[in-house]
Structure 1
């Protein structure tokens, strides 16, 4: 469930390493993948701030007011890097993280750790609560676009499919996303990963349209992959 757990996990990392969470992310994740365009909010790097999507002219300090909605006081009061606040990063760099996990290339994690991430880690008790959440009025946020009838569990990074979905996710696909922003997936069976990002300006946005856009992206990637494979066979 959503909580301050990621914030506290980041503080544990800072206590262990003696540095900031941002420094650790740069050293352990970004540097191995050649990424130099990531920073926790508020974005203060002068080379990055001009690249922010400008959704709110009333937010000249880039405190992500358009993303969090309403007041940006939570960002102004924050001191330091918080894992739960998220990280500014272009999609073209974000997908490098997904691809590293898809390829299981050892740059970020040991191969065995990556394999463990994609396993269903719910036991009988936690699975019952998870399935109830999926079927609840808030279930759309737990299913991440996956039909309620499809068997799913939960890995160490998101929802994991436990069966093939015809023309779409293969068994063992891990996916997660944000209700107002992005959706990502890593399908190791079909050798495909991707991220689709939508930047809706709060409070005037159509949630159904945003959800449909994300699903159009995810499914279209499979149509394009199938067309590419057919072209390769023909040539």
Structure 2
């Protein structure tokens, strides 16, 4: 069955210089609790047709794929390594003073307000507790300043130059869109979760991740928060290992790919729990394997009850309504039919019904800005990781390939794997 998946990958990568409706390279891993049941790749790492081949060990900036790793570290801290007695539902404001200063933005002053300047942001203090559960489920109220009209306008009003891309506490410190727990909104929640871990433990997020997650799993050499450490420049500035520059598709014109720029600092001040990790498909697949093992009570790192909580629907009716308004509009739920019942677990979006020909109900999934994606399906006992590196988000070629790969997994690979496991 590997041949079918190999064939799909190869059919979507460019042979030469023509890259319209093609990718430069892609890697795909399917894992069970016992290890990979498929691992393959196709294509190349750069625009130059003679560049190195793309492999499961090719390293990319995975952007929001980071969130699952950060979430796993926080859940490990809560359940395994908790001399500080951090819980999912305690108020974090005493632990992280910046969270105690948060205000909620409700609009902007009209021209006829006698007490305010026209366009002045309308802000009032947040008085509600803000918890780790809020952060890990995107229900705290944080947004992304350059992707939200109100937060962009607020930033301009106060003359703010930092933003989420600055990878600083100042850049992440924006007004809330609503009181914690009052809705669902995608934002800097996991960046703040990483800060919670650092304040509680006194360790950098990357140090904790290496010691308690990646190290015990025997991976991590190709995974980390600083590109020049994960993939050190070699002689003449060449990378010693397979770093993959991001490709940029000309979506308004030719549809061709050119070499782009990773929209992320090379040496960030803070380690972004929401978007900072560089990694490869092989390492990420090993983490997926561990989480599937943990669900069976066989994990090396995570407890079964911890994983069961991560895979439990977390949202109330109002939060779910907000989630549904956002995920298909922005492409975050592209692999789930629009309008299907969904929820959010701790770590990812969850489909509540089987997707025809694909993942079963109760699966978790998420993706990254450069179009890499993952899913985990506890009912079937498998998970998948696709690593690509192309902008902008929502690339139609990637989504088509991912759909074909997943359908081949459930149509051919899973039945063969299940038969061989009996």
| TM-score normalised to structure 2 length | 0.47
The structure whose residues are more often helix, as a share, is 1
SS in 1 for 2:385: strand
Q: Name the CA distance, whole Å, in 1 between partners of 2:383 and 2:246.
A: 31
Per the alignment, residue 315 of structure 2 pairs with 122
Q: How far is 1:55 from its partner?
A: 2.6
Q: How far is 1:84 from its partner?
A: 2.3
CA contact (8 A) 2:372 2:386 kept: yes
2:345 to 141, 155, 158: 155
C-alpha change, 1:114 and 1:144, in structure 2 (3 Å) is farther
1:48-67 aligned within 5 A: 49-55=239-245, 66-67=261-262
Q: How far is 1:161 from its partner?
A: 1.6
CA contact (8 A) 1:171 1:189 kept: yes
Aligned Cα root-mean-square deviation (Å): 2.9
SS in 2 for 1:212: helix
1:41 to 210, 215, 226: 226
Deviations 1:189-222 (A, max 9, x none): 111111011112x47x982112222222222222
Q: How far is 1:100 from its partner?
A: 1.0
Q: How far is 1:15 from its partner?
A: 1.9
C-alpha change, 1:156 and 1:230, in structure 2 (3 Å) is closer
Q: Name the CA distance, whole Å, in 2 between partners of 1:229 and 1:90.
A: 24
Q: Name the CA distance, whole Å, in 1 between partners of 2:415 and 2:195.
A: 46
Q: Name the CA distance, whole Å, in 2 between partners of 1:207 and 1:224.
A: 26
CA contact (8 A) 1:40 1:85 kept: no
C-alpha change, 1:4 and 1:51, in structure 2 (3 Å) is same
C-alpha change, 1:219 and 1:77, in structure 2 (3 Å) is same
1:100 to 283, 286, 290: 290
CA contact (8 A) 2:337 2:355 kept: no
Per the alignment, residue 191 of structure 2 pairs with 7
Structure 1: runs of 5+ lacking an equivalent: 58-64, 69-73
Deviations 1:89-131 (A, max 9, x none): 2111111111111121332322111001111111011111112
Q: Name the CA distance, whole Å, in 2 between partners of 1:56 and 1:178.
A: 12
Per the alignment, residue 131 of structure 1 pairs with 324
Aligned residues: 218
Per the alignment, residue 278 of structure 2 pairs with 88
Q: Name the CA distance, whole Å, in 1 between partners of 2:334 and 2:267.
A: 31
Q: Name the CA distance, whole Å, in 1 between partners of 2:243 and 2:343.
A: 34
Per the alignment, residue 377 of structure 2 pairs with 187
CA contact (8 A) 2:228 2:266 kept: no
C-alpha change, 1:107 and 1:132, in structure 2 (3 Å) is same
| TM-score normalised to structure 1 length | 0.80
Deviations 1:63-110 (A, max 9, x none): xx6332xxxxx5156224221232112111111111111121332322
SS in 2 for 1:214: helix
1:210-225 aligned within 5 A: 210-225=398-413
Q: How far is 1:155 from its partner?
A: 0.6
SS in 2 for 1:53: coil
C-alpha change, 1:24 and 1:77, in structure 2 (3 Å) is closer
SS in 2 for 1:106: coil
C-alpha change, 1:195 and 1:210, in structure 2 (3 Å) is same
